Amino acid sequence: DGGITQSPKYLFRKEGQNVTLSCEQNLNHDAMYWYRQDPGQGLRLIYYSQIVNDFQKGDIAEGYSVSREKKESFPLTVTSAQKNPTAFYLCASNSGGGSYEQYFGPGTRLTVT
Amino acid sequence: AQSVTQLDSQVPVFEEAPVELRCNYSSSVSVYLFWYVQYPNQGLQLLLKYLSGSTLVESINGFEAEFNKSQTSFHLRKPSVHISDTAEYFCAVSDRSSNTGKLIFGQGTTLQVKP
């Protein structure tokens, strides 16, 4: 089955630690996205990548970093510089080139204490 | 820049009653419009989209939305809801002229269907 996988589903970290969230897709999509979801705020774009080895900042990139070394993988690192890292993180992809529908993974809930 | 406003954060409704979830957007350029649904602790699923053509679009599970350009709205409706429709619903827009595929989301509306 084609789709997007995110792991783990739940993640717990101590304050001051960096943590990397995994996102893998087997849809052969060019573009991938990371969103952060907080209650009552909808989804906010962190980073996106339209092609391998290239990515752009979204609206709330501070405290986060990404890489895109392979077409199917777009990991997100939440660094210790992120002031409020506890949130639900969603990865998405679309086939690019004017395609408009984004496909979402199941999400990772990160709790930092 | 675009923005999306979902006018109701929560909409409680009884089973088999009609429902409307409101969405207004602001944009200086033409946009594509989407409704996504999210069940608890899951990712988002596309419910329906407006790209061009008929301003009334329908989903396979009975939802419909109408694009109203003059009122910059894309309200979601269903004539008779089921308990299983309980979820959070997000309205989103995308710039037609951009090739990034970026979506701008509203704050979400929680639909609570009561028996």
Chain B, nearest residue to A34 by Cα: B102
Q: Name the more confident of B41 and B92.
A: B92
Euclidean distance between CA atoms B19 and B16, whole angstroms? 9
Burial of B14 (0-12, 13-18, 19+ CB in 10 A): exposed
Chain A, nearest residue to B110 by Cα: A40
* Position A2 pLDDT exceeds 80: no
Q: What is the mean pLDDT of chain A?
A: 93
pLDDT at A57: 97
Euclidean distance between CA atoms A6 and A17, whole angstroms? 20
pLDDT at A98: 65
Q: What is the pLDDT of residues B53-111, one digit of tens each?
A: 899 999 988 999 999 999 999 999 999 999 999 999 999 999 888 878 899 999 999 99
* DSSP annotation string for A13-71: E-TT--EEEEEEE-S--SEEEEEEE-TTS-EEEEEEEEETTEEEE-TT-TTEEE--SBT
* Position A99 pLDDT exceeds 90: no
Worst-scoring range by mean pLDDT, A18-22, A74-78, B20-24, B40-44? Answer: B40-44
> Quick check: B13 and B112 in contact, CB under 8 A?
yes
Do B105 and A107 count as a contact with CB atoms less than 8 A apart? no
Q: How far is B101 from chain A (nearest CA, A)?
A: 6
Report H helices in B10-102.
none
Q: How far is B15 from chain A (nearest CA, A)?
A: 24
Angle at A112 between CA A107 and CA B4, to 5 degrees: 50
Q: How far is A17 from chain B (nearest CA, A)?
A: 24
Do A104 and B41 count as a contact with CB atoms less than 8 A apart? no
Confidence of residue A1 (pLDDT cuts 50, 70, 90): low
Q: Which of A6, A101, A103 is the best substitution to test chain B (most B C-beta atoms within 10 A)?
A: A101
pLDDT at B87: 97
> Quick check: B36 and B24 in contact, CB under 8 A?
no
Chain A, nearest residue to B94 by Cα: A100
Strands A108-112 and B44-50: unpaired
Euclidean distance between CA atoms A15 and B60, whole angstroms? 45
pLDDT at B73: 96
Q: How far is B102 from chain A (nearest CA, A)?
A: 8
Interface residues on B facing A, Cβ-Cβ cutoff 8 A? 4, 6, 9, 32, 34, 36, 41-46, 49, 51, 90, 94, 99-103, 105-108
pLDDT at A39: 86
Q: What is the pLDDT of residues A52-93, one digit of tens each?
A: 999 999 999 999 999 999 999 999 999 999 999 999 999 999
Strands A108-112 and A10-13: parallel
